Structure 1
Amino acid sequence: MMTRSKWESNSEVGNSTNEGKRTLIDYISGIEVLATPEEAEAVQVFAKKLVEDYGYRKHQIQTHPQFRTKTAPSGEEKYPVDIAVFYNDKKEYNNMRIVVECKQPNRSDGLKQLSIYLNLIPSVEIGVWFNGKDHLYLRKAFDDGRITWKEIPDIPKHGERVADIGLYKRKDLQTPNNLKVVFNDIRNHLAGSATGITRDEAIAQQIINILFCKLYDEINTAPDENVKFRAGIDEDKIDVRTRIENLFTKVKQDYDDVFDEEDSIKLDDDSLIYVVGELQKYCIISAERDALGDAFEVFIGPALRGGEGQFFTPRNVVKMVVRILDPDPGEYVIDPACGSGGFLIVALEYVWDKIEEEGKRKNWSQELIVQKKKDISNKYFFGIDKDSFLAKVTKAYMAIIGDGRGGVFCENSLFSPLDWQNKTQDRINFGSFDVLLTNPPFGSKISITSKEVLSQYSLSYKWRFNKNEQKWERTQKFADRRPPQILFIERCLELLKPGGRIGIVLPDSIVGNQSDGYIREFILSRANLLAVVDLPNETFQPSTSTKTSVVFLQKKDQVMETDYKIFMAFAEKCGHDRRAKPIFKKDEHGELIPDDDLPLIAEEYQSFKRRNY
């Protein structure tokens, strides 16, 4: 059993004051302030974005103590500004360039507050409203002596003119520091403002389309050329749309196995400019794949809500499973319920890291390493999902990180392979995989009732316990229904080679309920139990409250030992609470780190494996 670490548990934001109120350290000033939702989710997030993404220096930004505007040019200082950005390090009233409002919860109230600031502070050029979920960027202008405000797609970077926004050369694009924040902003804006597109699945599909336009532009634009994926200041909306639609035409030609000819950019003009404005300054292909994966799931996650038992496997769980299974280059890997491809992506990156290490040892050229990585992704990685949208998402996701999309198929893994498409039958065969990672759909409400499907499986029969023999025996009668997770166990074992390894997320009922003993006996008749990791209740919350464990198996072959040790672990913390908010603890140096037992469990398993195998 896994015991808790010596690190003490702490709040998800920071320390506690004597009064018990949560506090945090202000990113700009270093001052300890109350961790209100506004402060933690808006002020701190945007202040960090100003520094990391826009290049402003901390000494030209003021957050705490708050800068105050005057009630009139010669009046008293009254209105507190959440974030004030100055032209230089002189934090003076007539030297402010950008004012950021975070107090107002909605766009209309934010606009009213910004209008006050923009009127009162003569030097302010840009107004920003940001509530942690959505934003509004305004530029001050003058029309016949009157102050007016116009919405703009982005704000200028440090040292950049407003007129320069969108005029980026490929070499000037910057590596994003927190894509998840950017994507969250985009999703929330589209969910509330996009005309004609409100369903999460439709929003996700549109973002995939636009993201591919961005990636295509980055890949096919020379360093000294201007990018086509852009939205400039005062640019005609039709010109922006035409450029993006032309890019998407080329995307559909190059990725015809991901996109259909009828796919199109359906966002209204204002929403399209909003998305382009948010993404245009970044070089997406230079982002860390982990960051890209987290951001990608911002859009796909909400689209999975429904009655089909679909939800994301948290990335830390995926990483733990991959590390424990430890796939090698040349091993065939499959996820028969791949969803949006999380297990496949992480496993592929894990194997790619091994290729990189081997290349360094053997002094391979970079070209050879790239070719070997491409060969690995195209030949050895496979995914199946019955949902056409999710299969398409996985293809897109694989293409974004470096291909392998040709091994992803839209099929029902529980159907007979004879019912699969010919191209699937040609590439996916029983007994041909070395590593299988999966989180199958759960639930009695989505039970399989088709006799044609049930007839394939031993676990579809009714079983009874023989008290004399102290074992379960299969009867000759079929059950009327079976939850899909039970049938997936048998199908997974069928897909594996003898000696192949499985990591599968299962409800705790299968692991421990007395009435499910026949399932455990069936498993142990065909596989050795390598490890069981009990996951916290919060792991899949708020998507589902089902208590789960990860079960690791190795399909039996004739030479495997019958006497072996089993690794057992109990994770108390998984890095987030039941509302999916991150939780932290202090390390030995007093620094806040994720309160997550899963990386430690993966390390412990590796040590266990070295000692016992």
Structure 2
Amino acid sequence: MKQLPLKILPQLTDYPERFKKLYYHLYSNSSASRAETIISDLSKLLLVALSSQTQTIEPFISGMATANELLIPLLIKRFPKIVADNDKFAMDNASLRAGLLAINDLDLHSAPAHLLGDAFQALMGPRLRGDKGQFFTPKSVVRAMVEITAPGANAKVVDPACGTSGFLSETAFFWKNKKIKPGYLIGIDKDADLSLLSSALLEIVSPEKYRIYNQNSLDIKRLETECLFEADVVLTNPPFGAKIAIKENSILQQFALGHIWIFSKGKWIPTNDLRGSQDPQILFIELCIRLLKPGGKLAIVLPEGVFGNTNSGYIWDYIRSQGTIEALIDCPRTTFQPSTDTKTNILFFEKHQSNTIKRGLESTFVAVALNCGHDRRGKVHKNNDFECISREWWEGKKGKRSNGGCDVHFWNRCQITNPYYLVPRYYDKTTEKLLTQEAAPLHGKLISFSEMLDKGWITIRKGHEVGADAYGTGDIPFVRTSDIANFEISIDPTKSISQEVYEKYAVEQNLKSGDILMVVDGRYRIGRCAILNEFNYQCVVQSHLRIISVSSETPIESIELLYLLNLPSVQREIRSLVFIQSTLGALGKRIKEIKLPLPAKNDQWRATLSRFSQVIYERAKLLQMLKAFDSYEVEL
């Protein structure tokens, strides 16, 4: 085994850089290769450094004793609620000595707590595995949730899926920055390594004012033996996913949402029958509500499926029976990338004592974030809507009409017209405002697809699937969602089909020059459009596309409709209508709700349309001419 030198790091005052270099050095040179092992041992080393017992650890540094012989007893004595009697270091002693030397010269007690906490959070969070549904919550989201719930003096704050203690650490920073008397922080996580890391971090940021429990949060009977209930605030991002569904009857029977509900006479009714399984995030919703005291507040990150699935209505009836939906935040798809592509939103809830479900129209505050501070690859950038959203929230609470110093307003009070469809962006009034603003220069009024269908101005029909066996059997294009870009259809010849397959669908699809193809299902291309022309209309269109035909009675032409559908405000309108189940989005029947401005036929509009039409047509003609230069391709 390769031995590590005792001095492996320069004297960095940049804590994130210090921990990062240490982590990578241990990963490359120690006997440990699993991130969880390194995290666990680094957490113990952090506690050793916090113990400030230099004389006690000197024999280990000099090589006269092993870590398990000397350091573990020290930790058990100093941190009996954190380190168990059977705890052990997993890495070799040479690596542990190097690691301890690297951090032991840091002044952990006088260093700004948030710098140390942020350093460990940023290093460890992204390295956690997602196979258990655990994903690092970005700092921008954590901070916004803490600032909006604003835990008060002496508040009890609980995170029942605390992971790396991001919400709890941020709460401690919030109290310190606002000069609020600290309350008590409680975290629960069934992962022993994460519980240890959380304890180490909270020992830095909130010593003696926290407790981390290493146990199953969903075993409520066990939680009842501890002082975990009657919380003022619950903040959490629970594990989610059907792959880790809860199937144990002993757990399911402790939850109302662990039972089967049926829909009858306009509402959901619980039965005495247990479900075969339940996704963990659903049970966590109920757990969090039960942890709250009356008047307590909850902020929870949930996958978008919870907000829009038809069969999830019972969850919202349960939530309404326990309190008020105070606010909803729509998170950008990049929020948890690159770890996972799952789309999420945030629910803010306040508990009351009544068990009566509210009926009729409901209103709540809605904000839509389009930027989270990093891109889909995790690269940090300056655009962070969550900062503005949290700032504007409290400006509004103070009665000010400020947007928190941001370019746009985010919060709107919105009517929830469908009690079982709560995807936040669907109700966002900003979209309607942007549509109205963009319609003004066109001197037009807004009209929906539904109205255009009723007037007979357009028809909308679905494409078909030809099956993989038909790919490559001929020269007729099979148009898929990936072929739609920049208003044009880019044909993949490997997916072309035979004349026989084409004739099977040609009559029903009835494609012609001027038809518009719109992507309605998928990941990132929903709303993208292209127009068929005289050179490419002989094709078959995939089922994830809709074929929009403009009738002769329509006051606008196909090329006008294509232009209007690609206006920024209309594309945002389409985005607001998309529902994302896990990672895949769908427009569904909501395509009829698309609104666009019907422009006045003035000179400015004619000039704009003429330029657009000319570019589209000339490009199509040039692409057709290029085909004459195609040479024979040799298959590799």
TM-score range (shorter-chain normalised) is 0.5 to 0.7
**Residue 449 (str. 1) matches residue 247 (str. 2):** yes
Aligned to 1:428: 228
- Which secondary structure state, in structure 2, belongs to the residue aligned with residue 595 of structure 1? strand
Match for 1:416 among 220, 237, 255?
Answer: 220
* RCO comparison, higher one (Cα < 8 Å, 6+): 1
Contact preservation (8 Å) 2:141, 2:386: yes
Residue in 1 aligned with 2:37?
202
Structure-to-structure mapping, 1:112-151, within 5 angstroms:
none
- In the alignment, what sits opposite 2:172? 348
C-alpha distance in 2 between matches for 1:529 and 1:256:
40
Corresponding residue for residue 327 of structure 1: 151
Q: Which has the larger radius of gyration?
A: 2
Q: Aligned partners of 1:313, 1:331: CA distance in 2, in Å? A: 22
Q: Is the 8 A contact 1:183 1:298 kept in 2?
A: no
| SS at 1:533 equivalent | strand
The one-letter amino acid paired with 1:487 is L
Q: Distance in 1 between matches of 2:267 and 2:73?
A: 62
2: distance between equivalents of 1:515 and 1:345?
36
Pick one of 367, 378, 385 that aligns with 1:597. Answer: 385
Number of the residue aligned with 2:260: 462
Q: Distance in 2 between matches of 1:476 and 1:214?
A: 53
Shift of 1:471: 2.8
Q: How far, CA to CA, are the matches of 2:347 and 2:332 in structure 1?
A: 14
- Partner Cα separation in structure 1 for residue 288 and residue 357 of structure 2: 22
Per-residue deviation at 1:304?
A: 2.9
The verdict on how the C-alpha distance between 1:413 and 1:596 changes in structure 2, with shifts beyond 3 A counting, is: same
Residues 301-340 of structure 1: matches in 2 within 5 Å? 301=125, 304-340=128-164
Specify the code of the residue in structure 1 equivalent to 2:372.
C
- Deviation of 1:440 (Å): 1.0
Q: How far, CA to CA, are the matches of 2:228 and 2:234 in structure 1?
A: 13
Correspondence list, 1:79-94, <5 A: none
Is this contact kept in 2: 1:229–1:276, CA < 8 A?
no
- C-alpha contact (below 8 Å) 2:246/2:277 kept by paired residues: yes
Aligned 8 A contact 1:210 1:248 in 2: no
**What is the identity, as a one-letter code, of the residue corresponding to 1:312?**
F
> Among 572, 576, 579, which residue is 2:370 paired with?
572
Which residue does 1:474 correspond to in 2? 270
Query: Would the alpha carbon gap of residues 245 and 335 (structure 1) be closer, same or farther in structure 2, given more than 3 Å must change?
Result: same
Residues 18-29 of structure 1: matches in 2 within 5 Å?
none
1:393 equivalent to 2:197? Answer yes
- Corresponding residue for 2:343? 547
Note if 1:608 corresponds to 2:462.
no
- The TM-score with structure 2 as length reference comes to 0.56
1:387–1:247 CA distance, 2 compared to 1 (3 A):
closer
Report what 2:26 is aligned to. 190
The Cα offsets for residues 135-186 of structure 1, whole Å up to 9 and x where unpaired, read as: x99xxxxxxxxxxxxx7725787xxxxxxxxxxxxxxxxxx64211111111
1:307 is paired with a residue whose SS is coil
Tell me by how many angstroms 1:241 deviates: 6.6
Which amino acid is the alignment partner of residue 160 of structure 2? Answer: P
Q: How does 1:223-234 map to 2 (within 5 A)?
A: none
Distance 2:69 2:351 in 1: 50
CA distance in 2, matches of 1:537, 1:260: 40
SS in 1 for 2:327: strand
Aligned with 1:485 (options 248, 256, 281)? 281
Contact 2:232/2:292 (CA < 8 Å) preserved in 1?
Answer: yes
Identify if the C-alpha distance between structure 1 residues 153 and 555 changes in structure 2 by more than 3 Å, giving closer, same or farther. Answer: same
C-alpha contact (below 8 Å) 1:187/1:298 kept by paired residues: no
For the residue of structure 2 that corresponds to 1:575, the secondary structure is: strand
Output aligned runs, 1:66-105, within 5 Å: none
Residues 183, 295 of structure 1: 8 Å contact kept? yes
Corresponding position: 1:180 with 2:16? yes
More deviation in 288-297 or 498-507? 288-297
Matched residues in 1 for 2:95 and 2:197: separation?
22
Q: What does residue 382 of structure 1 align with?
A: 186
Contact 1:241 1:272 (8 Å CA) reproduced = no
Over 3 Å counting, the alpha-carbon distance change for 1:277 and 1:513 in structure 2 is same
The range that moved more, 307-316 or 433-442, is 307-316
**Letter of the structure 2 residue corresponding to residue 413 of structure 1:** S
**1:308 partner amino acid:** K
List runs of 5+ in structure 1 lacking aligned partners.
Answer: 1-107, 109-135, 138-150, 158-175, 222-226, 358-371, 584-593
Question: Can you list the C-alpha shifts for 1:76-132, whole angstroms capped at 9, x where unaligned?
Answer: xxxxxxxxxxxxxxxxxxxxxxxxxxxxxxxx9xxxxxxxxxxxxxxxxxxxxxxxx
**What is the CA-CA distance between 1:439 and the residue it aligns to?**
0.9
Show the counterpart of 2:550.
Answer: none
Question: Take 1:434 and 1:237, find their aligned partners in 2: how far apart are those partners?
Answer: 45
Q: CA deviation at 1:484?
A: 0.8
Alignment of 1:522 onto 2:376:
no
Report the counterpart of residue 112 of structure 1 in structure 2.
Answer: none
Unmatched 5+ stretches in structure 2: 401-412, 414-636
Separation in structure 2 between the aligned mates of residue 451 and residue 472 of structure 1, nearest angstrom: 22
What is the aligned-residue identity percentage? Answer: 34
Aligned residues: 398
Please say if residues 43 and 196 of structure 2, whose CA atoms lie closer than 8 Å, have aligned partners that are also in contact: no
Partners of 2:195 and 2:114 lie apart in 1 by: 20
Does residue 212 in structure 1 map to residue 16 in structure 2? Answer: no
Amino acid at match of 2:300: I
CA distance in 1, matches of 2:67, 2:242: 49
Q: Kindly tell me: are residues 289 and 558 of structure 1, through their superposed partners in 2, closer, same or farther at Cα, counting changes over 3 Å?
A: same
Q: 2:162 and 2:6 mapped to 1: Cα distance? A: 40
Whole-Å separation in 2 of the counterparts to 1:297 and 1:240: 33
- Root-mean-square deviation (CA, aligned residues, Å) is 3.5
Pair 1:340–1:544, CA change in 2 (3 A): same
**1: CA distance between counterparts of 2:242 and 2:68?**
45
Q: Under a length normalisation based on structure 1, what TM-score does the superposition of the two structures give? A: 0.58
Change (3 A) 1:337 1:177: same
The answer as to whether partners of 1:459 and 1:519 remain within 8 angstroms in 2 is yes
CA distances 1:210-237 after superposition (whole Å, capped 9, x unpaired): 22222223xx57xxxxx98899xxxx97
**Structure 1 residue 269, shift from structure 2 partner:** 5.0
